[in-house]
Chain A
Amino acid sequence: MNILLIEDDQGAADYLCKGLTESGHNVDHASDGHDGLHLALSATYDVLIIDRVLPGRDGLSVVSMLRAGGVSTPVLVLSALGEVDDRVAGLRAGGDDYMVKPFAFSELLARLEALARRAQPGTGHKRFQVADLVLDLTSYQVTRGGQKIHLQPRELRLLEFLMRHQGQVVTRTMLLEKVWGYNFDPQTNVIDVHISRLRNKIDKGFSRSLLHTVRGVGYKLDEMP
């Protein structure tokens, strides 16, 4: 992915650039709002990471300017403020996702990949397949190796989300947000239990597991672990 990072904190920017580069992405970095806006308008990126508080021009206004200029590149807004209402302001300005500092790098990476994927065409798929696991959204049928699997509505939505992001790591917070619509944080491993139920239904009794746990980060639905 080609990523533009607009972040004025040099320390944070350094480690994000390093992490993203080592994860196999190309990263450009701008340290203020003006440069960032200029770069975002002049080059093509798959995803933008924009800090809210920036010298020159604040992050949200950069996002608004980009959207006004017809740039629809997905934007992930970073913020140190951390109030629930900031999230709304960030998303209203045209951001596609919102993260509050301090955050886990793995979480950021997972969300970036999800964002970039969403921007690609072909998300209107009605049929998803990973190895021999098939989800047909027109009939809401799940089969594995031709064998029909019965899922609860919520399990179906969980599987759909994992299918849409197959091959990508999704975090527990992302699942809670996108599948359940919650922006809060249970202390217990509720998501893990839902995943293990789903895993019981789609993986149990089959030689190859498709739903993998990525240690310290989240889960991944893929042919390979």
Chain B
Amino acid sequence: MQLSELGRTSVVKLAVRYTLFYGAILTALLIVLHWSSSRFVSEEMEEEIEQELLRLAEIHAKGGAAVLQRDIDARLEDAIHSGRFYLFAGSDGQPISGNLTKWPHEANVLLGVEVEVENIWLDDDILIGNYYTNDAYLPAAALRLRDGSRLLVARGVEQHDALRELSENLFESLPAVVFFVLLVGISMGWSILRRLEAIQLTAHDIMAGDLSRRIPVSDKNDEFDALARCLNEMLARIEDVLTEMREVTDNVAHDLRNPISRIRNRMEVTLLERRSEEDYREAMYQTIRDAEAMMRTFNAILHIAQANAGMVRARLEKVDLVELARQLGELYEPIAEEAGLSLQVQADGMHEIRGHPDLLGQAVVNLLDNAVKYTPRGGRIMLAVQTHTKGIDLIVADTGPGIPESEYQRVKQRFVRLGCDRPDAGSGLGLSLVDAIARQHQGMLLFADNHPGLRAIIRLPLPRGSLETHVPVTYPDDRSDAGLSQV
């Protein structure tokens, strides 16, 4: 991964933008903070200076010059370190007491009636003691006392200095903060880019034809993993559908080869010599029959593929399974009778689901076709609808030879014909289609032993809320849950 590539990522762009934004806000905030706090400090100081000056003037007024002198001396004991400056001077400006050696010239301005704090220039060399102001302007106030002597109070600005130092430090650290934020942003961008790259690599592999590739899922269980899992599920589904399609193609090739070559050979043989019109017509009829069978196979394969791929999803209707069973029972009753079988329909009450009426009908018809075809004369077929806790069952039970339990799964596959020695063996697609239709309705195709015979069950999920309206039929054990009394 190139650095320029990193710069293009939205995360890094976002990080840069936020860094600039926050840097600006931080700077503005610091400026305001510095300005307001320094103002606060100065106001506080001016107040103190004024108070102190007035208090000293009061002491002078009450006790006279000597008391004031003592008081100032006492204050000076600890005042040196806290940066306070006092000067009690005679009317000529000669210092009497205090820690300044000379009346500062500028302080004359302050000797007005009004007590006011101004910044005046104090040289270090007029200070007594080890305090240094570095020759600075210091806030000060002065007063001419009643006897004409002068009084000056000033304050060192070390609080100001501390504040300035703090602000300067903050301002100096600003670039470092910005740099750090940027670094975090870039590293975040890097990690996101790395994970996206994993997805991209997988996508490239898949595009190159390796459909089995999946996006790696980390153990962080974050949104990227959620996305990866989701995409992986999608990929699995796509792979299923494609496999399905490939199988269909194979199946078509496999199952249509025979009738096509049969048609071709019949035509060739028919043309070998001159025949009667009757013979020609016969060959034509046989060809039409073959073509019809091919079409039927073709359509069945398409149906299965569509159902498996979940394509026929739209347009679900309310389907009354009892009505469906009764009508199909009526449709099949004559053919069952012709085959020497009794067809019984056991469907009462209300069993409604949302589904595809034609497809469900096709599924039941396929099961009935099998039952009629494989049950020997004198047998019985039962078509039933039952609701129980596990779902709604559409059952076709017969007294035929049944299917060995080991073959239950295999018969659902396409083109598997168990009775392939029979002359009337079907396309081998019937049960595959039933299975596909059941799964498309979120149900399944089950088989059970009918003792004797086969019990084929299309188990469909209960419609939501149906248990409240229908009394579910429950069965004592799993075996009997597959059906009712033996036919």
Interface residues of A (CB under 8 A from B): 82-85, 88, 100, 102-104, 154, 180, 182-190, 193-194, 197, 215-216
Contacts and interface: CB of A to CB of B under 8 A. Distances in A.
A17 B114 CA distance: 121
A100 B311 CA distance: 17
Given A184-B365, A186-B365, A193-B334, 4 more contacts: A85-B314, A182-B331, A184-B359, A188-B369
B309 to A, nearest CB: 11
Given A85-B312, A88-B315, A187 B426 contact: yes
B296 A187 contact: yes
15 contacts: A83-B311, A84-B312, A84-B315, A102-B298, A104-B288, A104-B295, A182-B361, A184-B358, A184-B361, A185-B296, A187-B427, A190-B331, A190-B332, A193-B338, A216-B288
Contact of B299 (A82, A193, A216): A82
A188 B362 CA distance: 12
Interface of B: 285, 288-289, 291-292, 295-296, 298-299, 302, 306, 311-312, 314-315, 327, 330-332, 334-335, 338, 356, 358-359, 361-362, 365-366, 368-369, 372-373, 426-427, 430
A214 to B, nearest CB: 11
Nearest to B287: A216
A187 B430 contact: yes
A184 B362 contact: yes
B39 to A, nearest CB: 78
Nearest to A87: B358
B327 A180 contact: yes
Contacts of B299: 82, 100, 185
Contact of A186 (B289, B359, B369): B369
Contacts of A194: 331, 334
Contact of B359 (A84, A102, A154): A84
Contacts of B302: 82
Contacts of A193: 334-335, 338
Contacts of A84: 312, 315, 356, 358-359
A213 B366 CA distance: 25
Contacts of B295: 102-104
A190 B330 CA distance: 10
A102 B334 CA distance: 30
A151 to B, nearest CB: 13
A216 B289 contact: yes
Nearest to B336: A193
Looking at chain A's contact residues, the main secondary structure is loop
A188 B312 contact: no
Given A84-B358, A193-B334, A188 B373 contact: yes
Nearest to B285: A216
Given A182-B358, A193-B335, A83 B327 contact: no
A84 B361 CA distance: 13
Contacts of B373: 188
B479 to A, nearest CB: 30
A85 to B, nearest CB: 5
A18 B314 CA distance: 38
B423 to A, nearest CB: 14
- Which of A102, A182, A187 counts the most chain B CB atoms within 10 A? A187
Contacts of B361: 182, 184
A182 B289 CA distance: 22
Nearest to A192: B335
A180 B427 CA distance: 25
Given A82-B302, A85-B312, A180-B327, A187 B334 contact: no
B284 to A, nearest CB: 8
Contacts of A85: 312, 314-315
Contacts of B289: 216
Contacts of B296: 185, 187
B323 to A, nearest CB: 11
A85 B317 CA distance: 12
Contact of A83 (B285, B292, B306): B306
Contact of A104 (B292, B314, B331, B359): B292
Given A180-B327, A182-B358, A187 B369 contact: yes
B364 to A, nearest CB: 10
Contacts of B366: 187
Given A83-B306, A104-B292, A183 B338 contact: no
Nearest to A105: B288
Nearest to A198: B334
Contacts of B372: 188
B303 to A, nearest CB: 8
B365 A180 contact: no
Contacts of B430: 187
Contacts of A188: 335, 369, 372-373
B335 A190 contact: yes
A154 B311 contact: no
A183 B317 CA distance: 15
Contacts of A102: 295, 298
Nearest to B302: A82
Contacts of B330: 154
A138 to B, nearest CB: 25
A185 B334 contact: no
- Which of A154, A184, A216 counts the most chain B CB atoms within 10 A? A184
A102 to B, nearest CB: 5
Nearest to B296: A185
A183 B292 contact: no
B358 A183 contact: yes
B40 to A, nearest CB: 78
Contact of A185 (B338, B356, B362): B362
A4 B295 CA distance: 26
B74 to A, nearest CB: 105
A127 B88 CA distance: 140
A7 B264 CA distance: 28
Contacts of A197: 334
Contacts of A216: 285, 288-289
Contacts of B312: 83-85
Contacts of B335: 188-190, 193
Nearest to A89: B315
A18 to B, nearest CB: 16
B456 to A, nearest CB: 15
